[in-house]
Amino acid sequence: MRGDQHTKPALVELAGVTKVYGTGGAATHALRGIDLRIEEGDFVAVMGASGSGKSTCLNILGCLDTPTSGSYLFRGVEVGRLTRNQRALLRRHYFGFVFQGYNLLSRTSALENVELPLVYRGIPAMERRRLARRALAAVGLEQHEKHSPAELSGGEQQRVAIARALVTEPQVLLADEPTGNLDTARSVEIMELITSFNRDRGITVVMVTHETEMAAYADWVASFVDGRVESIARHDEVA
């Protein structure tokens, strides 16, 4: 991720990135000059207290938000120079998202939830169904494709969300507190699943978490304090 010798190409580079919400006396400085370099295949945990800027950083990485100032390069391309439609295409084709609240459509089946990103891509129905079934099988839920979210446990719902994030075979998985609503056993299952996709498929993972136990699965830990990156270290070097 970072060091004197870069052995892998930079996938993501943030330089001097700031984010300010509001103006004048009501302005909130969510990010205060972030520098961050993420290499292909990295697994990075972003840690920090509530309000430290970690989720804002994740949203900028995933093109869900834009910096107030500074530079964001994705594979050497300046994201800030892209149009809104180009950023949407970048988000759609390169990123997968997993959220703490699952964000599943309540009145549709697990299979239909996983198909959704493929609908946006205009993939034909039969091919969508095939790819969605393969993604569900990859997270161990091939027997639950007809179940609605209400018929699934929290851990199973998060597995569906991970299948949905991975069905498009993204280069980057962005996970915001993916175990925040789960008990310890289910959290371990989800983290082992995410780790396996990073290890076996080479998917770069950036995960926001406040739990040291979950951050231990990552290769690197970036610690945020008051909108700044306080430190970046290998997880086994974090005190």
Residue 88 placed within a domain = yes
- Confirm whether 165 is domain-assigned: yes
Q: Is the pLDDT of residue 2 over 60?
A: no
Give the bridge partners for 71, in sequence order.
Answer: 15
In angstroms, the CA 143 to CA 67 distance is 42
Residues facing residue 223 across a β-bridge: 47, 231
Q: CA 230, 95, 92, 157 torsion: positive or negative? A: negative
Task: Provide the strand spans (E) within 80-177.
Answer: 95-99, 172-176
Whether 5 shows a pLDDT value over 50: the answer reads: no
Average model confidence (pLDDT) across the chain: 92
> Tens of pLDDT along 24-70?
888 999 999 999 999 999 999 999 998 999 999 999 999 999 999 99
Distance of CA 234 to the CA centre of its chain: 19
Would you say residue 19 lies in a domain?
no
The domain of 92 spans 41-67+83-237
How would you classify the pairing of strands 172-176 and 43-48? unpaired
Q: Is residue 35 part of a domain?
A: no
C-alpha distance from residue 237 to each of 5, 34, 131, 143, 216 (Å): 18, 21, 39, 41, 10
- Residue 27 domain flag: no
Give the CATH number of the domain where residue 199 resides: 3.40.50.300
pLDDT tens sequence across 118-134: 998 889 999 999 999 99
- What confidence category does residue 8 fall into, taking pLDDT thresholds of 50, 70 and 90? low
- Tell me, yes or no, whether 2 lies in a domain: no
Q: Is 107 within a domain? A: yes
pLDDT the model gives residue 1: 59
Q: Is 109 among the domain residues?
A: yes
Cα-to-chain-centroid distance, residue 29: 22
DSSP letter at 103? -
Cα 174 from Cα 98, distance rounded (Å): 6
**Can you list the positions of beta strands (E) in the chain?**
10-21, 28-39, 43-48, 69-74, 77-78, 95-99, 172-176, 204-208, 220-225, 228-234
Stated pTM of the model? 0.91
Q: Is the pLDDT of residue 143 over 50?
A: yes
> Tens digits of per-residue pLDDT, 175-203?
999 998 889 999 999 999 999 999 999 99
> In total, how many domains does the chain have?
1
